[in-house]
Amino acid sequence: MLRLALKMLFGDRAKYAMLVCGLSFCALLMTQQSSVFCGLLLWSTATVRNIQVPIWVADEKVEQVNEVVPLRDVEVQRVRSVPGVDWAVPLFWNILQARLPDGTFQAIQLTGLDSATLVGRPVKMQAGRIEDLRLPNAVIVDQVAIKKFARKGIALRVGSTFEINDKEARVVGICETYRSFLGQPYVFTTYSRALEYSPPQRKKLCFVLVQPRADTPLATVLERINQLRGLRAFAADDFAWKTIVWYFVNTGIPISFGIVVLLGVVVGVAIAGQTFYLFIHENLRFMAALKAMGAGMGMLARMVFLQAFTVGFTGYGFGVGLTALFGNAVLTRGEPPFYMPWQILVFTGVVIVLICCLSALVGLVKIARAEVAIVFK
């Protein structure tokens, strides 16, 4: 009987293809948009992932990593004096304007690392040496800067120069970084030189980067630093999650992507439900004949659910496969953002199963109400 159900399904190729295409589009839309949404939120934590340290210390009012409230330079010494702190170094991070050789401007995310230790340095270098950052007027740019400058007709390479706040910046290296939510390239230099590049103001320290001692638990060091007046310490993972939550709550991104995902669900329900209903309606005589021959509703229900889930899993596979191809293509380009964790696959699979169940139930209601005498009409 179950084999007969599959023959009935595959026999109507037009409706079978329409069902598969409808559910594939539904799965593609939900998976692709959810992955882009997750990728966009992941971009918001780029600074934390690029500067890999266990503890970040900021002003007590800071809620996420892209929010900078300047601190006094003395805060570095205060943090160093906390029991359990192995070392603490300053970090400058702010958005400034770079003036290109042809006079055009490009916004950059200037990152000033501790001159002695270079803590927070880029992990992967494409060209040059990180140690050259200590040379006069030296900066290291990332791969995004190469693309941004190239669009303006500037071929940026090791040895190229541009200006930051009317001061020369000479490229001594090119690195790879995680792309930022703000979309601007990262430019690394030393902390002291970053202060020279930045506009004059009373306080310029942005964050204090901390490494706890090996014999002191991370939570203990965080608690001790938080007791300092005016400061707030974050574990790196917590800081990243707080940044994601901040963008989730305070921006319209979730609503925009949520509407698109909801439309995907509606389209899937409309197309699959209507098409499957028509499929059952056209095969109603055969189902009634099976009832007349003694097939119970339990057997007919298994047949209908088998048909619905066969179409559903096929459409799910095609939709997720197309999303994976899309993700592979955009990851090589670096944009748009794309991140597809396993939770998205589970979410899409659950929605497809619910659509299949709803479609099957609609068909079963039609079969249950059908009279056996319809066979003779």
pLDDT at 347 exceeding the cut of 70: yes
CA distances from 343 to 64, 334, 338 (A): 24, 22, 14
Q: What is the pLDDT of residues 36-85, one digit of tens each?
A: 889 888 898 999 999 989 999 999 989 999 888 999 999 999 999 999 99
Q: Is the separation of the CB atoms in 31 and 345 below 8 Å? A: yes
What's the predicted TM-score (pTM) here? 0.82
Smallest Cα–Cα separation from 55: which of 223, 252, 292, 275? 223
Mean pLDDT of 177-192: 90
How far the first Cα of the chain sits from its last, in Å, is 24
Q: What is the pLDDT of residues 83-98, one digit of tens each?
A: 999 999 999 999 999 9
Q: Is the separation of the CB atoms in 112 and 191 below 8 Å? A: yes
Q: What is the pLDDT of residues 124-154, one digit of tens each?
A: 899 989 999 989 999 999 999 988 888 888 8
Query: CA 363, 369, 371: angle at the middle one, nearest 5?
Result: 120
Q: What is the pLDDT of residues 202-213, one digit of tens each?
A: 888 999 999 999
Q: What is the DSSP letter of 100?
A: P
pLDDT at 252 exceeding the cut of 90: no
Q: Where are the domains of the chain?
A: 2-43+252-376, 61-229
User: Which of the residue ranges 119-133, 151-165, 329-343 would you say has the lowest mean pLDDT?
Assistant: 329-343
Tell me what percent of the residues of the chain surpass a pLDDT of 70.
86
pLDDT of residue 2: 58
Smallest Cα–Cα separation from 22: which of 357, 363, 355? 355
